[in-house]
Structure formats: C-alpha cells, structure tokens
C-alpha cells in the first residue's frame, strides 16, 4: 500500500478541467458554488456588523478546497461530515443560500437545527450531511462509523470528513484514522490547513511540516495539495474516492490554504496575524485563481460571468429577505426533541 506523502502540483494548461474529466458545465458549476459560498458569507458579515445577527464563522479562502473535494463525491449517495467552515461542501451537497441564512438568523425553519445551533453547524439526514456540534474532531469518528455501516452493507458509498489542522491534534483524529485504516474504510480525511487554530500557529500545533505525514503512521496514503487550487483539490479527491470505492481504504488529504477572515465575528486576528501575511494570501484567493484559469480556458466568458453573478446575488438577496422575516421558534419548542421517543411519564 502506498503510504508516502505525495506533493501534488497543479499541472498547467488550458485543458486541466477537461483532462480531469470535468465538462465545461461542471467546471462552471464548481465556480458558481464557490461564488455563492463566498457571497453568502460576505453578506453575513455585513449583517453582523450592522448588529442584525450575533455571529458569523467563515469559509472565505477555503472554498477551493471545499468545492474541489465535494465535486469528486456523489451527493445523496456519498456522505460528508463537515466542520463549521464548510459552506462550500454543504452547498455542493444540496443546501441553499436560504438554508444558510435561516440558520444565520436562527429561525425555526433552519434545516440544520431549527435555530438551536450557531451558524456553521451543518446537518441534514436527507442530504447525507452528518450533523456537527462545536467540539472539534469528533466528526472524524462519525465518518469512520458511517463508512463502517456502508461496508457492512456492502455499499460503495464514500464518506468525506473535513477538519482544521488544529483539530488534527485531538485524540479523536488519531483514533478515527487508525480505525479506518484497520478496516480499510472508504473515508476521505480532508484537513483544511489554514495555518492557524484561532491564534495558534501551526508551529505550536505540531512539529511537522505536513499533517499528511501522519497517514503513514496508520498505513494509508497522505497527500498534500494546494487548497487554493480547486482543480488540484478535485484531482486528489477523485483519486482518493476511486481508491476508496475499490475498497482499498482511506486517504488523508491536506489542503494548504488560508482563512481570509478573523476566526469568527468574535475574533480580532490583528492580535496574532501580520497584515502583510493576510494581504499576501488575498492575492492567492482561490476564487480569483479559478477565475483566471476559467477565462484562460475560454470557459468563463463575460456573459456567463454576468449571469452567474446575477444568480448568486439574487439568491443571496432572496435568502436574506426570506430568512430575516421568517418566524423564530416558539417558547414551547424548547422542550421538544430531547429524545426521539419520549418515555417520561
């Protein structure tokens, strides 16, 4: 079994997406979902700064890794266990801007939690998105369990779970990778390494260069990829998915990326990040990079760009308007669903 860490470099050329088996339409769908994730996120910050909603946590800067990996999966058939930044993943899996805004405003209709959880705590049984709480890294074990069930029923569904490089320090990350390796489970462990866990830089989080190096210690491949190159992320994910469907077991994918916002609306990243560093990474924005590629490839013509921008803006506007008007849960909702089956006398 290959266990060496491969440095996957983005190959140039105007035909990258086609050589990866992606049609122009698929390439554009990926672009539109990245744009939508970004637009919803930006709108949330705006509303938060106006004091109309208490909390935002962002995907900005990580949409390439999220959509690149998600695009290699089959929504509805495969499963994802995302973390709070994965707007790009859940939008690809069928959530809508409206769903996002309903949870942002904590409305009763919020499909993730009925207004109970903070924004970013995704979950939908129907969409095969495993519910996430706030404690980091627990979802890696859930993903292993979902994959175990698929294996027990001899189904070829793949489960992808996403987490930050900080979460990789938790014991659960170790236990999940070890278990998935032992049973050769169809799991993609996707680490979105943005260099910080709130204020803690990678150098205080681990003594290694690449989280992907850990995979060898479990007995499966670890791959490092440029997380700001959506097509490179798609490529390594497609390889890992194929391997998983063949029953050859998990892959650890480390997408090197950056968080373009503070950790959340409660954070002040100026305390721990240099303005230069933030500025440098702005130039590596995965959306801008993808735009450059799509234009070069002749896929993103002006009218297409314009149509996408209009659709995105319209969805965000409608979603915001709808969600802000939508009703709150009522007081008597408080006691519901402690159990699925209430047996108290």
Partner 1 sequence: MASKTIIEAIRGAMDEEMERDPSVFIIGEDVGIRGGVFLATDGLYKKYGEDRVIDSPLAESCIVGVAIGAAVNGMRPIAEIQFADFIAPAMNQIIEEAARFCYRTAGDFNLPMVIRAPWGGGVHGALYHSQSIEATFGHIPGLKVVIPSTPADARGLLKAAVRDPDPVLYLEHKRTYRLVRGEVPEGDGVVPIGKAEVKREGTDLSLIAYGLMLTHCLDVAAKLAKEGISAEVLDLRTIKPMDEAAVIATARKTGKVLVVHEDNRFAGIAAEVMAIIMENAFDALDAPVMRLTAPDVPAMPFNHTLEEAFMPNVEKILAKARELARL
Ligand X SMILES: Cc1ncc(C[n+]2csc(CCOP(=O)(O)OP(=O)(O)O)c2C)c(N)n1
Name the residues annotated as catalytic.
Answer: 259, 263, 272
Near its own copies by CB under 8 A: residue from 60, 112, 205, 320: 205
Near partner 1 by CB under 8 A: residue from 95, 167, 191, 232: 167
Coil, strand, or helix at residue 129?
strand
Pairing of strands 200-201, 196-197: antiparallel
Binding mask 130-159 for ligand X (x = CB under 6 A): ----xxx-----------------------
* Alpha-carbon span 102 to 108, nearest angstrom: 8
H/E element, 203? helix 202-205
* Alpha-carbon span 6 to 154, nearest angstrom: 30
Q: Quote the least distance from Cβ 175 to ligand X, whole Å.
A: 12
Task: With beta carbons less than 8 A apart as the criterion, state whether 232 and 10 touch.
Answer: yes
- ∠ Cα 298 227 157 (to 5°): 95
135 binds, among Mg ion, its own copies, ligand X, none (CB under 5 to 8 A by kind): ligand X
Site for ligand X in 178-237 (CB under 6 A): 192, 194, 196-198
| Residue 84 contacts partner 1 per CB under 8 A | no
* Alpha-carbon span 22 to 70, nearest angstrom: 13
104 binds, among Mg ion, its own copies, ligand X, none (CB under 5 to 8 A by kind): none
Q: Quote the least distance from Cβ 136 to Mg ion, whole Å.
A: 10
| Residue 173 contacts its own copies per CB under 8 A | yes
- ∠ Cα 98 101 107 (to 5°): 100
Question: At residue 252, what are phi and psi to the nearest 5 degrees?
Answer: -100, 120
Q: Quote the least distance from Cβ 300 to partner 1, whole Å.
A: 37
Q: Which is nearer to ligand X, 41 or 165 (CB)?
A: 165
Binding site for Mg ion (CB under 5 A): 164-166, 194, 197
Contact residues for its own copies, defined by CB under 8 A: 169-175, 178, 181-182, 184, 203-208, 213-220, 249
């Amino acid at each position: 079994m290959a266990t060496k860490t491969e440095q996957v470099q983005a190959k140039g050329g105007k035909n990258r997406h086609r050589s990866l088996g992606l049609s122009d339409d698929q390439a554009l769908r990926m672009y539109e979902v990245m744009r939508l994730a970004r637009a919803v996120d930006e709108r949330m910050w705006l509303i938060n700064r106006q004091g109309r909603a208490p909390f935002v946590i962002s995907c900005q800067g990580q949409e390439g890794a999220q959509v690149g990996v998600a695009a290699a999966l089959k929504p509805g058939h495969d499963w994802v266990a995302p973390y709070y930044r994965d707007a790009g993943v859940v939008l690809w899996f069928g959530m809508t801007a409206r769903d996002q805004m309903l949870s942002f405003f904590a409305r009763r209709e919020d499909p993730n939690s009925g207004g109970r959880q903070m924004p970013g705590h995704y979950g939908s049984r129907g969409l095969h998105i495993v519910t996430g709480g706030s404690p980091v890294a627990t979802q890696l074990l859930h993903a292993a369990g979902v994959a175990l069930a698929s294996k027990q029923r001899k189904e070829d569904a793949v489960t992808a779970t996403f987490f930050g490089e900080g979460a990789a320090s938790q014991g659960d990350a170790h236990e999940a990778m070890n278990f998935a390796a032992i049973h050769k489970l169809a799991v993609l462990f996707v680490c979105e390494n943005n260099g910080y866990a709130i204020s803690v830089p990678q150098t205080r989080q681990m003594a290694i260069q690449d989280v992907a190096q850990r995979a060898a210690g479990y007995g499966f491949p670890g791959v490092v990829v440029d997380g700001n190159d959506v097509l490179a992320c798609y490529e390594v994910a497609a390889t890992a998915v194929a391997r998983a469907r063949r029953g050859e077991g998990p892959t650890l994918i480390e997408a090197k990326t950056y968080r373009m916002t503070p950790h959340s609306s409660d954070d002040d990243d100026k305390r721990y990040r240099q303005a230069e560093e933030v500025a440098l990474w702005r130039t590596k924005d995965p959306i801008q990079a993808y735009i450059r590629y799509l234009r070069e490839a002749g896929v993103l013509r002006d009218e297409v760009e314009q149509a996408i921008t209009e659709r995105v803006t319209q969805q965000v506007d409608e979603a915001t308007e709808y969600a802000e008007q939508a009703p709150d849960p009522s007081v008597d909702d408080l006691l519901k669903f402690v159990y699925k089956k209430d047996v108290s006398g």
